[in-house]
Structure 1
Amino acid sequence: MQTVSCPSCGAEVNFRSHASVMAVCEYCNTRVLKEAGAVKDLGKISSVLEDYSPIQIGTSGVLGGRNFTVAGRIQLRYDAGMWNEWYLIFDDGANGWLGDASGQYTVTMLRTPPKQVPSFEELRAGQRYTLVGAPYTVADVRTAQCIGGQGELPFKVGDGWQAKVADFRHGSNFLTLDYSDEGPPLLYTGVSVTLESMQCQLLRDPEEIKRTTGRYRGKLDTLGCPSCGTQINYLPGLTASLVCQSCQTQIDASSPKAEVIAKGEQHDREYFSLPLGAKGKLGNQDFTVIGVMRRADDEGTGWTEYLLYGSRNGFTWLVETEDGWSRANVMDQWPYSEGLGAPQVTLDKADYNKLYDYNSVVTYAAGAFNWRVQVGDHTHVYEYKRQQVVLAAEATASELGWSRSTPVAVDQLKAWFGDAVKVKTPEVPRHAIAQDFSTDRCKRSAKNWIMGMVALNAIPLLFNFSSAIVYTLFAAAAIYVPAAIIDALDDTLKK
């Protein structure tokens, strides 16, 4: 470790790795450039926005039998949200990056790029390319701005530094092409991970997260809508977009100061089976409903999606359709397919057959979301099913994601949320009830007459069966056939 004095305030600045080029003074946010025998003041950088990530400088873990320590981070913001890139230093001297986006984690390390790579401009979500000997699918393509830095870093970076990156996935393998600098893009390869799988230590505990989150912005966990004043619950530093449930005003919550993106119009509040702010316990995890949106397909069939957040398990979704409820989670490991829209995909050696392929549009949104959402947003959805499990791919021009959902019984939902669940029981209209009783009314009357006639002729049937049965059947037919004809004509007229 090398320790130098900050050229701005004189405080100690530590460099744990010889590969680190720059460090941010934790006292005055000065960017300190390490040069041969000296340090240089590169000016200030914005403080990072304390978010709900449990990772911090000093967090340690194990990956592939190699110990690492988190030494720094940069915070990046793009048009639909923000994420953290944590700089890792391994005990053997190597370094890498831990991507941290809404509770999804990837670890990547710099590799030698292949000779042939696509240009940044030609990349589209869902395209497939053979890279490092495997078929990778483009997961997202984005241009982001640096909005803050912390700790030590392997290159010079400051406010406004622009990152042009494209992420690719192949199963649980992850790959990034970085087009930020002039010349050929940099190649980073790695895997999707969890904090548990890396045996992470020195993580922030839930109480510390709750105490420090949003400290930079100086906001609480509610915000008055700048348009109509309605209080909106949100997670500072984690939810990138707010939509007022009363007036549909869109608010950017990913910058130091909440700003109105677009004003909406006042309207009556919508009815939801799970209201915003409802709290539930899924297993041993506490979750809160922080966002809700309605979507519809090409034919106008609609459904409702509820975004839930838990301090330990991050985000999860509950989806309400005409057929019932399901719970959905974003997938870190993607299924294998021959391309978007393929008739079949494979996950963990199990095949899933294609169900549907349709366009989806957001028709209503309210609450807080970890990406920017607005009415009119379009995605294309591909659904695949095996037994009770559904895999869904949702694609736009710049982003592709997979989710996995399983059915949830209403009784289970009520066990999770108790009295907060307001599932409506469909009411049968009075005219429908009347119509139901009026259906086949003549045939029912005819059957009653026939049964009465048989009862009256029971004794003659016993003593003279052969002749009595003929008259009885003839009389029954004379009663039933006209009744059936009348009911059929009545049904035709109703249609």
Structure 2
Amino acid sequence: MEPSILNCPRCGTAHHFAHEALNLSVCTCGALLRRNSGKLEPLPNSAISKPVEPLQPGSTGSWEGRSFTLSGRVRCQLEGSVFNYWALLFDDGELALLGEGYGLYVLLRPKGAVDIDSGELDHLKIGRDQTVNGVEYTATARDSCERWEAEGVAWLPLARQSFRSFVLSAAGGGELWLFEWARNEVQSFDAVWVNASDLHFVNTRPSLLGEAVSMPCPSCNKTVTLQGLPYAQSGACAHCGKHFRRNDRGTITKGDSNGEYSLPDLPLGSKGRVFGADYEIVGFAVKEEQNAYHARWREYVLWNEWEGYAFLSEFDGHWIFLRERGEGPAIRQPAPDTLVFDKEPYQKYNRYHYKVVFAQGSFPYDIDDVESTEVYEYISPPEMWSCEIDKRACFAWYHGQHIAGRELSKAFAHNGYLPPKQGVGAVEPRAFIAPGKIALVAAGGIVFLLLLHLLLTWPSRDHVLLDENLAFDNRDTVSLSRNDIYLDRDQANVEVEVWSPVTNSWVEVSTSLIDKRSGQEYGLEQGVEYYEGYDGGESWSEGSRHESGYLTAVPSGNYLLQLQVQREPMLARTDSARVRVTYDVPMMRNFWLSLLTLLGWPLVTYLRVRSSERSRWYNSPFTPFNYDEES
């Protein structure tokens, strides 16, 4: 075991290493030292001279009830981005890495040896399957760190000048990160994406907006500022439109120029609170799809010290708030038509390449190097996932949410012009309910209605009070009464059923229930009629020889039941009629009426949603609608 306290070979300052794996330390004399074989040796890499991030060596926090301390970090210059790896030491002695940058936080815990070597990593294809230690993954990202600098006491195994990283996503969830510290020196880490609020940081740096570099524009010589270094990768002069980029050595070089001029509706420098975080607008761009549509949209770059970058995208007056997410969906190439994330299905809405036709301010990407980026958009209003696949074939996922223009005007205290809405936005929530959810709600309603019907009718007894066949003989009217009819429920129905073999005739039954105590009478007229014949050589018929009716909500008590049965006085006489009176009968009629009413809602909702969805998908190359046939 190496000693935990070693002295700087240049100035003699003592350096304490709280864990045996920690191997880098920045000295007060400015030297970056590596612990190796019980001594410290200087490295050519730089120490971070002007740290601007809120996290710092000595920041503490907790995760899932476990306290930790950040002892230091390595800040890596990747291709087109910057990312930090903090040494995170739990109080119980476990050492992990905290990947952090652009508002993304991922906890990386050492997993152990893997059955994959550098040769296999050389041929690893993004979007394809890769088996590691018997588990199948999909490769979603790869990066190469060619230059790094350090702060505090950090952990970088082997501490070589460069290393590679790979991200593999499991189909069932979870990620495996592989670091190739040197050829055939591959280490795996379990990855858990977290939010800054999950880590409960304290002892952080004061609020900063990153480093701002001001310089004369090489085109117009006016002062321009690149805000948010080192995370900002490019910018554009607000005076002449000249573009600037930051290369992997940190040097600012000039790029292309704006081909046209566009004025942002939300001014740069505006500050506002969006979805619970305070942001400043630091960039504005107009982008154009490189396809047959050449659709243009406007995009604002927002910055928050903890949440990182966010984007406001506006098209035809419809606004979407987007943030990069590390734990995006895992998809294979070619991109599927549907993806599911957190059990929510998203439909492919768009696919395109794009270019920047106007830019102003600062950007976390190179605005002159985007035309090779392919974008896939999946929607489930009011949300979406946007997947950007860059020239390295790496996936970057952005989660989007609809936000109303009036909310942005209020958030940024903007009283000026905002574009009016046209049509239905891609994730505008208007009238949107997924058809599957409509069917699910309707099915749930039917089950609830059936259970309610069973609950209400379960105690029904179907008690027959009277069942008589009545012969008319030579009379057209027959009367019948029953005394001492006792009804014992607080309120219940009474069904009267009538049968009669009528042909081209009718029979009618008048029923009365008379409360003996109060004299209250409950009456019902119920008849049957049936007609048939021939018309134009074809037979026809109408009516029925059996009908039923109900007396509802009859209170308990002693009743007199009176019946009067009348037939039509004619030659084609009906000889008889059967009458049955039943107490406390389950009424299916109410169930069927309720069911029809219930089914009306999903039908109307589906038609309304379909109309809105036809408008939403009109500009999509993946529309499920055929507008020629339906117009």
> Same fold, TM exceeding 0.5?
yes
> When you count strand as a share of all residues, which structure comes out higher?
2
Matched, 1:150 2:151: yes
Q: Is the 8 A contact 1:9 1:28 kept in 2?
A: no
Deviation at 1:123, TM superposition (A): 3.0
Q: Is the 8 A contact 1:125 1:137 kept in 2?
A: yes
Indicate how the Cα distance of structure 1 residues 134 and 249 shifts in structure 2: closer, same or farther if over 3 A, else same: farther
Deviation at 1:376, TM superposition (A): 5.2
Q: 1:238 aligns with which of 216, 231, 248?
A: 231
Superposition map of 1:344-493 within 5 A: 344-374=338-368, 377-398=371-392, 399-419=394-414, 421-424=416-419
SS at structure 2 position matched to 1:405: strand
SS at structure 1 position matched to 2:414: helix
Distance 1:287 1:142 in 2: 29
Deviation at 1:95, TM superposition (A): 1.6
Letter in 2 for 1:279: K
Deviation at 1:288, TM superposition (A): 1.6
Q: What is the aligned-residue RMSD (CA, Å)?
A: 3.1
Q: Deviations over 1:216-238 (max 9, x none)?
A: xxxx4544323323423512333
Distance 1:129 1:247 in 2: 48
Indicate how the Cα distance of structure 1 residues 62 and 173 shifts in structure 2: closer, same or farther if over 3 A, else same: farther
Q: Is the 8 A contact 2:196 2:306 kept in 1?
A: no
TM-score (norm 1): 0.74
Q: Is the 8 A contact 1:243 1:367 kept in 2?
A: yes
Superposition map of 1:93-172 within 5 A: 93-116=93-116, 119-131=120-132, 135-155=136-156, 161-170=161-170
Deviation at 1:239, TM superposition (A): 1.3
Q: Deviations over 1:64-85 (max 9, x none)?
A: 5443221221111123121111
Q: Partner of 2:279 in structure 1? A: 287
Q: Runs ≥4 in structure 1, deviation > 6 angstroms? A: none
Letter in 1 for 2:123: E
TM-score (norm 2): 0.59
Letter in 2 for 1:409: A
Q: Partner of 1:78 in structure 2? A: 78
Q: Partner of 2:26 in structure 1? A: 24
Indicate how the Cα distance of structure 1 residues 152 and 281 shifts in structure 2: closer, same or farther if over 3 A, else same: closer
Q: Partner of 1:260 in structure 2? A: 253
Letter in 2 for 1:197: D
Q: Partner of 2:288 in structure 1? A: 296
Deviation at 1:338, TM superposition (A): 5.7
SS at structure 2 position matched to 1:119: helix
SS at structure 2 position matched to 1:229: coil
Q: Any gaps of 5 or more consecutive residues in structure 1? A: 215-219, 428-495
Identical positions, percent: 21
Q: Any gaps of 5 or more consecutive residues in structure 2? A: 423-631
Q: Partner of 2:217 in structure 1? A: 225
| Structure with larger RCO (C-alpha < 8 A, sep 6+) | 1
Superposition map of 1:182-331 within 5 A: 182-206=183-207, 209=208, 213-214=210-211, 220=212, 222-230=214-222, 231-253=224-246, 258-262=251-255, 264-265=256-257, 269-282=261-274, 285-297=277-289, 298-299=291-292, 300-322=294-316, 324-331=318-325
Matched, 1:2 2:9: no
Distance 1:222 1:290 in 2: 14
Deviation at 1:366, TM superposition (A): 2.9
Q: Is the 8 A contact 1:294 1:303 kept in 2?
A: yes
Q: Deviations over 1:46-97 (max 9, x none)?
A: 1215454321111223335443221221111123121111112233333221
SS at structure 1 position matched to 2:182: coil
Q: 2:335 aligns with which of 337, 341, 345?
A: 341
Q: Partner of 1:443 in structure 2? A: none
Distance 2:114 2:31 in 1: 37
Indicate how the Cα distance of structure 1 residues 174 and 237 shifts in structure 2: closer, same or farther if over 3 A, else same: same
SS at structure 2 position matched to 1:419: coil
Give the greater-gyration-radius structure (CA): 2
Deviation at 1:248, TM superposition (A): 4.5
Distance 1:283 1:352 in 2: 22
Q: Is the 8 A contact 2:226 2:232 kept in 1?
A: no
Q: Is the 8 A contact 2:98 2:108 kept in 1?
A: yes
Indicate how the Cα distance of structure 1 residues 283 and 235 shifts in structure 2: closer, same or farther if over 3 A, else same: same
Indicate how the Cα distance of structure 1 residues 42 and 283 shifts in structure 2: closer, same or farther if over 3 A, else same: closer
SS at structure 1 position matched to 2:335: coil
SS at structure 2 position matched to 1:413: helix
